[in-house]
Every structure is written in C-alpha cells, then in structure tokens.
Amino acid sequence: MTKEATATTARVDDGGPAFPSGHGCRGMTLRDYFAAQAMQGLIASNDEGAGDRLDDIPKYAYDIADAMLKARSE
C-alpha cells in the first residue's frame, strides 16, 4: 500500500453521529458538525490563521474539530 493510500484509509475519531436518529441512519458525524461550525466562523471572521487560500480553510476547520474532539475525551 502506498503512503498516500495509508493516510487516506487511517481511522479518524469522528465522534459518532452528531444527530442520532435511532433509525439506523448515521447521518453527519460530530467531527463534520464541529468542522462545519468552525469553518463558518473562520469565513465570517476572515481569520488569518485559516490561510490565504480557500483550500486551506477546510483543513484548518478539521484541525479545530479534531482538537475539540480531543478535548471532549480528556
């Protein structure tokens, strides 16, 4: 397996479903929800930490989401 393939298939703690329905549908993960909220704030605030390119903002938002999930587990 290549390094790229290994990196993309690694298990990431997604926090489980953000809005569990109990009907067997997982829906959006808590990680995705946290990232979406972080991205909304980054775009609205024009945070320089998000980078100058549009492509940098989602990565930064998921970094924030991962930090939030880590803080929840401590």
Q: Is the pTM of this model over 0.75?
A: no
Given a contact cutoff of 8 angstroms between Cβ atoms, the answer to whether 60 and 49 are in contact is: yes
3-state secondary structure the chain: CCHHHHHHHCCCCCCCECCCCCCCCCCCEHHHHHHHHHHHHHHHHCCHHHCCCCCHHHHHHHHHHHHHHHHHHC
21-36: pLDDT as tens digits? 777 767 788 999 999 9
CA dihedral over 33, 67, 57, 10, signed as positive or negative = negative
2-61: pLDDT as tens digits? 444 444 567 788 887 777 777 776 778 899 999 999 999 888 887 666 656 778 888 989
Q: In the numeric block, which tokens belong to residue 32?
A: 């995705």
* pLDDT given at position 49: 62
